[in-house]
Amino acid sequence: MNRRNENDPGKNGHEATGAGMRPKGGGALRMLAMGVLPLIFLALGVYGYDRITRPEPGAQGAKSEAQKHRARRKGPWGPRYGRGQTPQTRAASKPVAVAARKVQLASYTPRFSLYGQVIASHRVVMGLPVSGRIIKLNPDLREGARVEKGAFLVTVDDFPYRAVLEEARANLAEAKAKTREISAQLDLERETLKQLEHQLELARREQKRAEKLISQGTISQKILDDAVLLVSQRQVAVQQRRSNIDISNARLEQQGSVEKRLRWAVKKAERTLRDTRLAAPFDGRILSVNAEIGQYISSSDKLVTIVSDSHLEVRFTLSEDRYGDLLFSGASIIGLPVRIRWRSGRIKRSFQGKLTRLAPEVAADSGAIVAFAGFENGGEASSLLRIGSFVDIELSGRKIENVARLPESALYNQGRVYLVQDNRLVGRKVRPLRWENGEVLISAGLDEGDLVLVNHLPNIKPDIRVKVVQE
């Protein structure tokens, strides 16, 4: 057996194979190359990136385009708004360009544009409380005709009611005569009583003298007995007259009640007689008529509807928000000035008025409050306007002092605005009054000269560093 010499240089490092010869230990070199070369390439990449992104010495502190892009990409929650930064880095962050406005406090009078309808303040459907046949009508009793207060409109046959009145008056006269009769009898009884009382006194004196004389034995016992009997008879007569007087007083009182009842019967008959004539209760216009001569009517029939054209009003509604705004401007809204504008074709008229009253209930269908306004110059309005006309209304509230006017974009949720103080935003709670023409009116929370942010920033937070570029 031949043994291979391991120290043979010709044979060391090579071995025979079927395909030829290959170096011994080549697998280890290849593994080393595969592990080291990627690290070398990674180091070269990092070094090249650092060279590319490193600022030049003359532009110390400036951001590269890639860095600016990363800053923009972080959005409102990133370093642009100071979130997650330390005080040092936040102080060095770039301020946000904003628009602001200085607060100017002024007085403000709320005005509301509304729509209303002309109505009559007095409207009555009239009839007669008696029944009968119509015998007379006012010749001007037609729809649209104007009548004055007290003018007669309808008259029914009053003969049966005159008969009732005459009977009542006759009964009253009879009662009065009876009263005079009882009064005269009472006077006679009183006079007779006075005479009987005087006679009783004389009889008592006579009895005393008889008692004195009989003790002396100068008269008989019969004379004394006659004197006692006379006193007794006079006492009975006086008592009877007094009873007659009491009876006469009772009859007189009873007759007084009868007379009073008959006197009221006369007044009732007189009033019923007056009710046979229908008269206008106020100056106005006839709205409807349901009466003709010869027509028989009852007390439940409605004959004439009349409306007052000298006391016109305007009816309109106030929403809950507007009603609250008016209450905010003053304790009471009754008496607030109202301008009423009416237009018919080419004719335009404007009238001054004031709010006179409010309906006691809220409208069930709309939840609005019904209000009424009266005209200051009712005569001019009555000559032009007609009931049912539609008008425009401008209602003015009471003056409110120290009101700030800002764009709507200045107001954030829950009634908050942001002030610019020392180039930083500071939140302030305010009380909005109302919105008007793209602006919000603020009644409390701001002072004269405050600088308020007016452009809306998304996801705004206090203490943001800003720069005012527009006022």
Residue 263: pLDDT band (50, 70, 90) is very high
- As a whole number, mean pLDDT of residues 310-332 equals 77
Kindly report whether the global pTM for this prediction surpasses the value 0.85. no
Mean pLDDT: which of 22-36, 290-304, 447-461 is highest? 290-304
CA distance 356 to 337: 10
Residue 243: pLDDT band (50, 70, 90) is very high
> Taking the domains of the chain in order of start, what are their residue ranges?
87-108+400-470, 159-274, 308-396
Place of tokens 């793209």: 438
Place of tokens 């008696």: 130
Percent of the chain with pLDDT over 90: 31
Residue 107 is which amino acid? Answer: S
Report helix, strand or coil for 124. Answer: strand
Residue 75: pLDDT band (50, 70, 90) is very low
Q: Please state whether 84 falls in left (phi above 0), alpha (psi between -120 and 50) or beta.
A: left
- As a whole number, mean pLDDT of residues 135-144 equals 90
- As a whole number, mean pLDDT of residues 127-142 equals 92
- CATH number assigned to the domain covering 87-108+400-470: 2.40.420.20
pLDDT of residue 72: 47
Residue 447: pLDDT band (50, 70, 90) is confident
pLDDT of residue 237: 92
Q: Is the dihedral of CA 48, 50, 52, 58 positive or negative?
A: negative
One-letter-per-residue 3-state SS of 182-204 = HHHHHHHHHHHHHHHHHHHHHHH
Give residues with Cβ within 8 angstroms of 142, minimum separation 6. 286, 289
pLDDT of residue 261: 95
Question: What mean pLDDT value characterizes the chain?
Answer: 80
- As a whole number, mean pLDDT of residues 48-77 equals 50
Give the right CATH number for 308-396 from 2.40.30.170, 3.30.530.50, 1.10.1750.10, 3.20.20.70.
2.40.30.170
Residue 79: pLDDT band (50, 70, 90) is very low
Residue 412, pLDDT > 80, answer: yes
Same fold, 87-108+400-470 and 159-274: no
Residue 402, pLDDT > 90, answer: no
Residue 128, pLDDT > 90, answer: yes
Q: Which residue has the higher pLDDT, 309 or 352?
A: 352
Return the closest-CA partner of residue 231 out of 213, 207, 208: 207
Find out if CATH 3.40.50.300 is the number for domain 159-274.
no
Residue 389: pLDDT band (50, 70, 90) is confident
The answer to whether 196 and 238 have CB atoms below 8 angstroms apart is yes
Residue 29, pLDDT > 90, answer: no
